[in-house]
Structure 1
Amino acid sequence: MSIQLLVTSFLLCFLPLVLIFFLFTKTTKAKGSSPTSNNLPKPYPIIGHNFHILSNRNQRFDWITSILQNAPSATYTIYPLQGPAQIWTANPAIVQHILKTQFHNYTNGIHFRTSLFDILGNGIFNVDNGDSWKFQRQISSHEFNTNSLRKFVEIAVETELSERLIPFLSAAAANKAVIDFQDILQRFAFDNICKIAFGYDPAYLLPSLPQAEFARAFDDAIRLSEDRFQELSILVWKAKRLLNIGSEKRLKVAVSQVHEFAKNIIRDKKKELQEKPSSESIDLLSRFLISGQYDDNFVRDIVISFTLAGRDTTSAALTWFFWLLSKNPEVEREILKEIKGKSDTPGFEDIKEMVFTHASLCESMRFYPPVPVDGRSAENDDVLPDGTVVRKEEAVQYSPYAMGRMESIWGKDWAEFKPERWLKKEEGGHGEKWSFVGRDPYTYPVFHAGPRICLGKEMAFLQMKRVVGGVLRRFKVVPAMEDGFQPLFIADMTAKMKGGFLITVQERND
C-alpha cells in the first residue's frame, strides 16, 4: 500500500471526528463553561467528557468551579477518555471523608506517583501513607517547633527582607522601574527555604537578578511533569520517554540539572557536618543525614520536595495577595494601621499578633489557593457521605479553588474580598480589638487536612506576614497593567499568574 493511500485512508477515518470536535466546541462550549443544575456536561459513549475537557482546557479551574457550584452536593463525576473516573467535589464532608475518616483507603494513586516520580521521586509529597512517609514527617516536624520558627522569622526572613528585598524595591522605586513581582517573590522564597532548610544561600535575589540554571531547570521540570496529566493517555508520555523525544527529552535534561543541584547541596552539607559538631548546624537536611537511614538519592528527593513547598507556595500566595490589595484600598489601609502599631523590625510575637493581616492572607488564599486542586485515589471501593459510589482506583479530586467560591460555604457575599469574615471584635484593656476566627481545614483545605496537613503552615504565615509588613510600611505596590485587566490564574503543581505580576513601587511619604 502506498504512502499516499495510507494518508488518504487516515484522513477518511479521522476527519469526521475532527469536524465533530470543532463543531462541538463551537456549539457547546458555553454549556460546558457555565452549566446549570439541569444542564451539567453530559458524558458521551466511549469518549466520556473528553470533548468538554479539551474545550475547557484553558479555563479548567473556572469550568470545574461552575460545575460544582451547580451540582447536587457540590460533587460531580467526570469521565475522561482513558483511565478511571474522576469524582470532583467542593463538599467539606467529602473532603473530611477522604483526608481523615477513610485516610488509609485514599492514597496518591499509581498515576500520580508515576507521573511525578522523575522529579519528586520518593519525597514526602509523592510517597503514600507508609513507613517512608511517617519517617519523613517525623524528622521534618522538628523544624517547625517554636524555637525553629522564631529563628526562621527573626534571622532568615529578616535578613533576606532587610538586605535584599527592601533595597531592591527601593532602587526600583527610585528608577521608576517596572518589575515582575512574582519573580521577585519567588527569588525571595527560594533564598529563604534554602537557608533555613539546607543551610545554603543561593543568593538568587540580588540586584542583578541572576539567571540561576537550577531555577530554570526546576520550573521546566515541574511544568513538564504536570503536562503529563494533560496527555490523552499515559501511554503517550511513556512512549515519548522511551524514544527520548519532545517534552520527555526536555524533562530528562531538566531533572538531571535539578538532581545535580540537590546532590551538590548534600555533598557540601556532609562536608560541613564532618568539620564541626552536628549541634552547630542542625537544619532539616542535617537531621536527615544524621539519621543515616537512607541513601543520598532519598535525601535528594527530600531536598527537591521541600524546595518546591518552600519556594512556590508562599510566593504564589503573596503574588495574588498584593494583586487583590491593589483592588481593595480600604483593606490596605487597615493593614497599614496594624503595621504601624508595630516596630520597624517586629519580632516573633509581634508578627503573630498581626491578626488583620493574617485574615487578609486567608481571604486572599480563599480566592487564589497556592495548590488549587488536590486529590486521592481509592485503594478499595467506597461510598462517599453524599452517596456517591467510588470504585477501586477512581480518583476523588477536591478543589480549594472551587471551595473558596461556594455560596453554600461562604454565603451570598462569597465573591467579595472581606477579611472581616475571618475576624470578630472583642473588648480588651485598650478598647476594641480584632481576634481571628479560623475555619476547619475541611472547609478551607488550602493547607491540606487530616494526617497529611501541611507542617509548614505556621512558618508560611509568619514569612508572608513579615513580607507584607516590611513591604507595605515602605512602599505602595501599583500594578503596571491597564485598568480592567484581569490576570489569568494558571497552575502547574502550584498556582501562578500568567505572564508574571508587573508592578511599579512607590515610596510612601507618610
Structure 2
Amino acid sequence: PIHIFSYKKTNTITSSSSIIPLLFTKKIIKINKKLYSLTPIDLFLSFSFLLFISSILYAKLSTKSSATDDTYNNDNKPPTYPIIGCLVAFNQNKRRLLEWYTELLAASPTQIIEVSRLGARKTVVTANPENVEYILKTKFNNFPKGRPFAELVGDLLGCGIFNVDGELWASQRKLASHEFTTKSLREFVVKTLEDEVEGRLFPLLQTAAMENKVIDLQEVLKRLTYDTICKVSLGTDPNCLDLSVPVPPLIAAFETAAEISARRSTTPIYLLWKLKRALNLGSEAKLKNSIQTIHTQVTKIIQDKQKSFSKTDFNGQSASSHDFLSRFLAAGYDGELARDMVISFLMAGRDTTAAAMTWLFWLISSKNTSARDSIRAELGTIKSSGQLGYEVVKRDMGYLQACLCETMRLYPPVAWDSKHAANDDVLPDGTRVKKGERVTYFPYGMGRMEKIWGTDWSRFDPDRWFEKAQNDHDDDVSSRGGLKMVNPYVFPVFQAGPRVCLGKEMAFIQMKYVVASVISRFDFEPVSLEPPVFVPLLTSHMYGGLRVRVKEIGSA
C-alpha cells in the first residue's frame, strides 16, 4: 500500500498545500523561517510529493496497451515507465504479488523478470534453476546478502547469521555447523519433542476432541515449535501450549517485527519506509517498540543463562550445556552478537516448521485424504520398532517426508530470498546484473513452473518424490522405490550451496516426529471449505490460521 503522509497543523505553514511553494518562493521562506525550518527530510518529502504527482500524470498519458498489459513482454519486465518504473502495475497487483510474479516468470522464455520500482535499484527475479545455482554456488562470493538486505531486516536480525556476510557469517556458521552435527543434540531434540507431544500436545488435542471445540491448528503448532526451539536453543521452557494463557510478549513482539520488516521490501515506493523510520511514524514506530521488547526479553534470557553456569561447569559437561545458547556463550559470544544469534535461531526454528506442518495438515485433511491413509499405512509398518527414536524417524518415514517436500514445493516456508551483486555479472541465461542490484530466487514460483514440474504441477502428488512408483495413485507403500535425490537448485526451499540451511535435518526430524505422532491418533476437519490464503512474510503463514475440529481415532 502507498502511505500518504501529512504534517500536523501546528502553525500557519505546515499544511500539505504549503510544501510546494516553500520550495520555490524565497519570500515565503524568509517570512516564515522562524516558524518553519527546512530540513533534509522536508526537502525529500516535497520532492517525493512532486515526483509522485508527475508519475501519475505520466502513467495517464502512456498508451493503454502498455498500461494494461500485466503479463510478460519482450523486455523481461512488467509494464515499466521512466522514473516510476513498474509502480502502476506493482500497485495494481500489490495484493497478489506471488501470483503476479509467477505468471510473469511462467511466460518468460528463461523464467526471469526484471522489476524496477521508484526509489530502489533494479531487481532481477528468477525461477531458473541454472540461475539459482549460479547465484547460490558458482558465484557465491559475488552474491552476498548485501547491505540493502541488511537494511531491510537489520533492525530485527542485527548481526545474526541470516543477516551478515564475510567473516562474521563464517564464524557463526562454523560454530553452529559443529553443534548441529553432535549426537547429543540429536538425542536432546527427540527427547524434547517426546516431552512436548506426549505431555502437552496430546492432552490439548484430546480436550478439544471431547469438547468438540474449534481450535486454530496453526497457532497450536506455532506454540509447540516455540516451546521446542526455546528448549533446544535457549534451555528455557515457556510452556506455551496452554491456550488459556496469552501469547508471551516476546512472541507477540516477534510476529509484529517480522511482519513489518518483511513488508518493507514490498512497498511500491521503496523509500517510503525509510522516511517513516526517520520520522518514527506508523508501522516503523510500532516496529521500533516491538524490537525494543524483543531485545529486552532476549537480553534477560541471556543474562539468566550466564548466571546459571560458568565456563568451568560447561567444560565439565553440565546439564545446561545441551542448548545452543550455553554453547555460544561458552565459545565467547556475548552481548549484542549473542542476542542477535538467539533472535535468528528463534525465527528459523519456530515459524518455518510450523508453517510447513500447518499446510500439510490442511492438504491431507481436505482433498488429499488418500495421502493421509498412506502415511498411516507407512507408520503401521514401523510400529514394531517401538519408540520414535532419531534413527527411526530419519530412516523409516520416506512417504511422510515426500508429503512434506510436496507441501513445501507448493507452500514454501520462505517464498523468496534475495542477494545483491558485489560486482557486475552476467547470469547463465544472459541477464546482466550491475553492482548493487538485487537478485531474487523464488521458491514459490519455482514450485509452480510447468517447465520444472510438468503439466500436473498444481496437483499434490507425493509420488513425484520417489524414484519409481507402480502407478500415479498407488497407495501401496511397499511398491515405491527410494526417495529421489532432488537437485537443491530446483527445490531451494532450504537454500543451497555454502549457505544451505544448517537445520534442514533437524527440521525434518521435528516435522516427521510431530506429524507421525499426531496423525496416528487424530483427524482434523477444517471448519472452512474455502482455500486458505498464503501470506509470504519473512517466513510464510496461513492467513487467519487453520481452524479445525479434532477427532480422536484411537490410542497410539
**Structure 1 residues 60-459: aligned runs within 5 Å:** 60-128=97-165, 130-145=166-181, 147-233=183-269, 235-274=271-310, 277-278=313-314, 279-280=317-318, 281-282=320-321, 283-292=323-332, 294-326=333-365, 327-343=367-383, 345-352=387-394, 353-425=396-468, 432=479, 434-459=481-506
For each residue in 1:145-168, what CA deviation from the matched residue of structure 2 results, as whole angstroms up to 9, or x when unmatched? 251453144301111111111111
Q: Shift of the alpha carbon at 1:244? A: 2.3
Match of 1:473 among 501, 520, 523: 520
Residue 509 of structure 2 corresponds to 462
Where in structure 1 are there 5+ consecutive unaligned residues? none
What is the identity percentage for the equivalent residue pairs of Structure 1 and Structure 2? Answer: 43
CA distance in 1, matches of 2:133, 2:296: 39
**Which is higher, the Rg of structure 1 or of structure 2?**
2
Q: Shift of the alpha carbon at 1:236? A: 2.7
The RMSD of aligned alpha carbons is 2.9
Alpha carbons of structure 1 residues 206 and 94: separation in structure 2 relative to 1, 3 Å: same
Letter in 2 for 1:503: V
CA distance in 2, matches of 1:190, 1:156: 12
Residue 92 of structure 2 corresponds to 55
SS at the partner of 1:173? helix
Alpha carbons of structure 1 residues 18 and 388: separation in structure 2 relative to 1, 3 Å: closer
Q: Shift of the alpha carbon at 1:395? A: 0.9
CA distance in 2, matches of 1:13, 1:243: 20
Alpha carbons of structure 1 residues 93 and 17: separation in structure 2 relative to 1, 3 Å: closer
Tell me the TM-score normalized by structure 2: 0.84
CA distance in 1, matches of 2:176, 2:215: 35
Alpha carbons of structure 1 residues 426 and 143: separation in structure 2 relative to 1, 3 Å: farther
Q: Shift of the alpha carbon at 1:233? A: 4.7
CA distance in 2, matches of 1:328, 1:199: 38
For each residue in 1:355-404, what CA deviation from the matched residue of structure 2 results, as whole angstroms up to 9, or x when unmatched? 00000100000000000001210010001001111111111111000000
Letter in 2 for 1:314: T
Letter in 1 for 2:260: L
Q: Shift of the alpha carbon at 1:245? A: 2.3
SS at the partner of 2:260? helix
Q: Shift of the alpha carbon at 1:37? A: 7.6
Structure 1 range deviating more: 240-249 or 42-51: 240-249
Alpha carbons of structure 1 residues 341 and 21: separation in structure 2 relative to 1, 3 Å: farther
CA distance in 1, matches of 2:417, 2:380: 38
Q: Shift of the alpha carbon at 1:448? A: 0.4
Alpha carbons of structure 1 residues 391 and 207: separation in structure 2 relative to 1, 3 Å: closer
Letter in 2 for 1:462: I
Q: Shift of the alpha carbon at 1:434? A: 3.9
Tell me the TM-score normalized by structure 1: 0.92
Residue 38 of structure 2 corresponds to none
Aligned length: 503
For each residue in 1:165-187, what CA deviation from the matched residue of structure 2 results, as whole angstroms up to 9, or x when unmatched? 11111111111111111111111
Q: Shift of the alpha carbon at 1:143? A: 2.6
Letter in 2 for 1:263: T
SS at the partner of 1:376? strand
Residue 551 of structure 2 corresponds to 506
